[in-house]
């Protein structure tokens, strides 16, 4: 087994109990994602795609099996440990940006740094540098509702990156954008992968997004399928 | 990754809270209204009560609290026997012998006769007094002398400041040595009393008084009688016992005497009791409005938690721990009530200032009531903010992120 694996899932299951009935969302999944990979996880609704995203993103715990993130078994982490790991290891990029509307771009980006106890001025400095890097420094003091969709997504990506995560986890990153902006956002994500050596995992149902990735993992009915 | 679990620095929570509170100004204002009223009433009542107590004590401070006033009434309405039965001066002065605790005795006659001077009516009253009244009431003279034991029936008078001013206004002459007409008797002004702070203890207004020798007063009018005696006490006598003793003495003189006692100590006691009841009552109102205010804060915070479910989810995804979320809302509710408390304290101080102004009391700023109002507000904010904050921290990040 490679020590370079960012994500290592072994026989991972997730079972929900809904109204007294057990529902098996994931039925023993094995996934291995190396550093610097650009991977799409695809599947129709009900395939277990969302559950997979939640578990990969440390927002939920598996029912059984193991999840190693950057070499650490996180399967039995408590809430605080999960939160800390989310903060340090994962950068989320959400479908509808999920920027806090009352906060400026800069404040949105410093947020994730503040959760690791970083000094406010240090955090602002880092956030500024990140905005600069993303080419949107002039938006630092703008609020999300004054930005275009593409600009918001760039701020969201800046927020995901600022903490220096091992894994960029994107949930339908282009779902809320027109095709032109979608392409631009995908360019940013692939750029991060190729030039910044980030491991990027994109959960999507969009085949076009999938085709832009190095590898596609298909989920169907809670299991990894061998593709179409 | 180091093993230490990180938390947000508190300053960040305050920055976040201010952003959030400012973005919903109207709601923020409505939420703090209850706390504001509560804190204001607590501060106003405690300050007001304290000001009142000080004012009462101030009134007695000049006179001292070791006084006892006796007013004597006769239950017999038969007028012809009145003058015969009224207390004689020697009888009144003999009270001094009843107890070693009685230091001095000042009987006086209050009579409301017409006073005229240089053809003008004077607004004032006649008081027949002994020289002891001066030391008893701590009077000091701006001009001339007080009445003396030598005066007996001599037509001299000492006037209060108000009377002095009226006389001065009447003919622009120095009132000293001038004569005041009291129903045909002329009294020469021998002295003027300095302005005298009025007191709740003695009912006559010495500033508006024309003080004449008590012997003279008793013969001026057939209705004049020694109806008031003021005692200065020493030591710390049992007032009830002393009063019973004095009552007994008057009973032996005539069964028709009815005595009423008044002492600063008892009056202060009474006022303090009244104030305590008032304080308790207002405190109750203050407490109720603070609780209502607290519930208001809780309500607003609960609404805020529901509205900001998405935000909570995002923050959790970014690495907020349950403690961070809890603290975030707690800081917000505390800030909310701190804000309300501060405004309330200011309003409360203002109200107590206005009360003092209207009542003519001296105003002073007390530290304790604002401190109490302030800390109660903060406590309310934390107490009533805890549940919403706790609720927010227990939310599932996945549910929150899905929340529309």
Residues of chain B with C-beta less than 8 angstroms from the C-beta of A57: 317
Residues B79-107 have a mean pLDDT of 79
Cβ–Cβ < 8 Å for B179, B186: yes
Give the torsion through C-alpha atoms of A186, A39, B3, B319, to 10 deg: 40
- Greater confidence (B311 vs A150) lies with B311
Q: Is the pLDDT score of B220 beyond 80?
A: no
Residue ranges of E strands in B57-194: 67-74, 102-111, 115-117, 120-122, 125-129, 141-144, 156-159, 179-182, 185-193
**Helices of type H across B119-159:** 132-136
Of B68-82, B119-133, B149-163, B259-273, the range with the lowest mean pLDDT is B68-82
Nearest-CA distance from A24 to chain B in Å? Answer: 18
> For residue B395, how many other CB atoms are within 10 A of its CB?
18
> How far off is chain B from A206, nearest CA to CA, in Å?
20
Distance from CA of B356 to the nearest CA of A (A): 45
Angle at which helices B264-307 and B322-359 cross, to 10°:
150
Identify the band that residue B278 occupies on the pLDDT scale cut at 50, 70 and 90: confident
ipTM: 0.92
In the prediction, which pLDDT does A172 show?
Answer: 83
Strands of the sheet containing A64-69, edge to edge, are A21-34, A5-18, A64-69, A72-73
- DSSP state, residue A15: E
Task: State residue B171's pLDDT score.
Answer: 86
Cβ atoms of B246 and B230 within 8 Å: the answer is no
* CB contact (8 A) between residue B315 and residue A115: yes
pLDDT score of A176: 63
Interface contact flag, A100 B8, Cβ < 8 Å: no
Please judge whether B15 and A117 are an interchain contact, meaning their C-beta atoms are less than 8 angstroms apart: no
Which residue carries 């009791």 as its tokens? B273
> Which one of B168-177, B213-222, B388-397 scores highest in mean pLDDT?
B388-397
Residues of A within 8 A of B20 (CB-CB) are 102
Residue A64 reports pLDDT greater than 90: yes
SS3 for B187?
Answer: strand
List the single best residue of A93, A115, A170 to mutate versus B (max B Cβ within 10 A).
A115
Please, what's the b/e burial string for B303-328 (b: 16 or more CB within 10 A of its CB; e: otherwise)?
Answer: ebbeebbbbbbbbbbbbbbbebbbbb
Chain B contact present for A89, CB below 8 A: yes
Chain A to chain B, count of Cβ pairs less than 8 Å apart? 83
Using CB atoms within 10 A of its CB, is residue B205 exposed (0-12), middle (13-18) or buried (19+)? middle
* Segment (H or E) for B282: helix B264-307
What are the pLDDT digits (tens) for A178-203? Answer: 777 777 778 888 888 888 889 999 99
Which residues, at least 6 apart from A208, have a Cβ–Cβ distance to it below 8 Å? A182
Q: B interface toward A at CB cutoff 8 Å?
A: 1, 5-9, 11-12, 15, 19-20, 23, 310-311, 313-324, 397-398, 401
Q: What residues of chain A lie within 8 A of the CB of B324, using their CB?
A: 83, 115
Tokens of B177: 């040595």
pLDDT at B196: 83
Inter-chain touch A92–B324, beta carbons under 8 Å: no
pLDDT for position A171: 87
Verify whether the Cβ–Cβ distance A107 to B8 is below 8 Å. Answer: no
* pLDDT the model gives residue A177: 66
Query: Could you tell me the sign of the dihedral formed by the alpha carbons of B76, B82, B88, B93, in that order?
Result: positive
CA angle B225, B227, B232 (to 5 degrees): 130
pLDDT of A1 above 50: no
Q: Which two tokens stand for residue A164?
A: 């220096």
Name the band, by pLDDT with cuts 50, 70 and 90, for residue B77. Answer: low
Task: Break chain B into its structural domains and give their ranges.
Answer: 2-60+269-402, 66-262
pLDDT, position B240: 87
Tell whether A119 is within 8 A of chain B (Cβ). Answer: yes
Judge whether A166 is closer than 8 Å to chain B, CB to CB.
Answer: no
Specify the pLDDT at position B85. 64
pLDDT(B221) > 80: no
Among A173-177, A213-217, B70-74, B283-287, the least confident range: A173-177
For the residues B286-311, what does the mean pLDDT come to? 90
Q: Can you name the residues that pair with B122 across neighbouring β-strands?
A: B115
Q: Is A108 on the interface with B (CB under 8 A)?
A: no
How much is the average pLDDT of B285-311?
Answer: 90
CB distance A111–B318 less than 8 Å? Answer: yes
Q: Does A83 touch chain B (CB under 8 A)?
A: yes
pLDDT above 90: residue A38: yes
Q: Do B8 and A85 touch (CB under 8 A)?
A: no
What digits encode the pLDDT tens for the residues B301-340? 999 999 999 999 999 999 999 999 999 999 999 998 888 9
- Give the per-residue pLDDT at B152: 82
The reply to whether A59 touches chain B by the CB within 8 Å rule is: yes
Summarised one tens digit per residue, pLDDT across range A6-26 is 999 999 999 998 888 889 999
Judge: B9–A120 Cβ closer than 8 Å, yes or no: yes
> What are the percentages of helix, strand and coil residues in chain B, rounded to 5?
60, 15, 25
CB contact under 8 A, A86 and B317: yes
Using pLDDT thresholds of 50, 70 and 90, give the confidence band for residue A61.
very high
Task: Please give, rounded to a whole number of angstroms, the shortest distance from the CA of B29 to a CA of chain A.
Answer: 18
- Residue-wise pLDDT tens digits, B112-121: 778 888 888 8
CB contact under 8 A, B401 and A79: no
Q: How confident is the model over B331-372, as pLDDT tens digits? A: 999 998 888 999 999 999 999 899 888 888 888 888 888 888
Q: Which residues of B touch A114 (CB under 8 A)?
A: 8-9, 12
Interval B97-116 mean pLDDT: 88
- Sign, Cα dihedral of A178, A184, A185, A186: positive
pLDDT of residue B361: 83
Out of A98, A114, A159, name the one closest to residue B8 (CB): A114
Nearest chain B CA: its distance from A185 CA (Å): 20
Distance of residue B349 Cα from the nearest chain A Cα, in angstroms: 36
Chain-chain contact of B317 with A54 (C-beta, under 8 angstroms)? no
Q: Note whether A97 contacts B: Cβ–Cβ < 8 A.
A: no
Q: Considering chain B, what is the average pLDDT of its residues?
A: 85
Of A83, A84, A120, which is closest to B11 when you measure between CB atoms?
A: A120
List of chain A residues whose C-beta atoms are within 8 Å of the C-beta of residue B401: 59, 94, 98
A86 pLDDT band, cuts 50/70/90, is very high
Where is A65: in which H helix or E strand?
A: strand A64-69
pLDDT category of residue B2 using cuts at 50, 70 and 90: very low
Whether residues A120 and B311 touch (CB distance < 8 A) is answered with no
């Amino acid at each position: 087994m490679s020590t370079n694996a960012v994500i290592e899932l072994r026989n991972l299951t997730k079972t929900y109990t809904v109204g007294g009935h057990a529902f098996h969302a994931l039925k023993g999944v094995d996934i291995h994602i190396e550093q610097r990979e650009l991977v799409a996880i695809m599947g129709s609704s009900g395939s277990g795609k969302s559950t997979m995203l939640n578990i990969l993103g440390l927002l939920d715990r598996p029912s059984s099996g193991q999840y190693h993130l950057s070499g650490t078994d996180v399967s039995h982490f408590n809430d605080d440990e999960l939160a800390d790991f989310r903060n340090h290891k994962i950068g989320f990029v959400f479908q509808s940006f999920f920027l806090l509307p009352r906060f400026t771009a800069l404040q949105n980006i410093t947020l994730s740094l503040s959760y690791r106890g970083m000094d406010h001025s240090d955090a602002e400095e880092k956030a500024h540098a990140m905005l600069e890097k993303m080419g949107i420094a002039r938006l630092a003091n703008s609020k999300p509702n004054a930005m275009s969709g593409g600009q918001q997504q760039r701020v969201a990506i800046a927020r995901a990156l600022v903490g220096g995560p091992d894994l960029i986890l994107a949930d339908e990153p282009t779902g809320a954008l027109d095709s032109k902006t979608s392409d631009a956002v995908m360019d940013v994500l692939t750029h991060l992968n190729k030039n910044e050596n980030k491991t990027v995992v994109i959960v999507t149902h969009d085949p076009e997004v999938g085709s832009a990735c190095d590898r596609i993992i298909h989920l169907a009915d809670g299991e990894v399928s061998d593709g179409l | 990754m180091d093993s230490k679990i990180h938390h947000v620095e508190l300053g960040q929570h305050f920055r976040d809270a201010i952003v959030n509170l400012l973005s919903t100004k109207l709601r923020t204002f409505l939420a703090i209204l209850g706390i504001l009223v509560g804190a204001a009433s607590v501060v106003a009542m405690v300050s007001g009560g304290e000001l009142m107590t000080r004012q009462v004590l101030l009134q007695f401070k000049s006179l001292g609290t070791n006084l006892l006033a006796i007013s004597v009434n006769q239950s017999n309405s038969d007028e012809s026997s009145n003058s015969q039965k009224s207390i004689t001066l020697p009888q009144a002065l003999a009270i001094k012998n009843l107890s070693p605790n009685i230091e001095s005795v000042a009987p006086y006659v209050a009579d409301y006769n017409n006073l005229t001077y240089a053809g003008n009516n004077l607004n004032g009253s006649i008081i027949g007094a002994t020289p002891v009244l001066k030391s008893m009431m701590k009077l000091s003279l701006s001009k001339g002398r007080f009445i003396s034991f030598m005066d007996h029936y001599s037509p001299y008078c000492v006037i209060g400041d108000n009377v002095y001013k009226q006389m001065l206004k009447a003919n622009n002459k120095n009132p000293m040595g001038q004569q005041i007409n009291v129903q045909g008797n002329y009294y020469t002004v021998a002295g003027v009393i300095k302005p005298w702070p009025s007191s709740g203890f003695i009912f006559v207004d010495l500033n508006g008084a024309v003080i004449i020798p008590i012997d003279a007063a008793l013969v001026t009018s057939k209705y004049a009688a020694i109806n008031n005696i003021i005692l200065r006490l020493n030591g710390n006598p049992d007032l009830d016992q002393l009063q019973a003793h004095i009552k007994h003495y008057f009973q032996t003189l005539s069964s028709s005497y009815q005595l009423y006692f008044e002492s600063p100590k008892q009056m202060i006691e009474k006022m303090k009791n009244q104030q305590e009841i008032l304080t308790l009552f207002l405190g109750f109102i203050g407490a109720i409005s603070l609780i209502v205010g607290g519930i208001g804060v809780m309500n607003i915070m609960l609404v805020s938690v529901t509205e900001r479910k998405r935000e909570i989810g995002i923050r959790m995804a970014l690495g907020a721990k349950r403690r961070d979320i809890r603290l975030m809302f707690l800081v917000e509710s505390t800030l909310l009530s701190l804000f309300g408390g501060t405004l309330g304290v200011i309003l409360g101080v203002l109200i107590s200032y206005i009360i003092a102004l209207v009542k003519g009391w001296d105003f002073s700023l007390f530290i304790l009531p604002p401190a109490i109002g302030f800390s109660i507000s903060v406590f309310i904010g934390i107490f009533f903010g805890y549940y919403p904050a706790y609720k927010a921290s227990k939310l599932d990040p996945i549910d929150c992120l899905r929340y529309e």
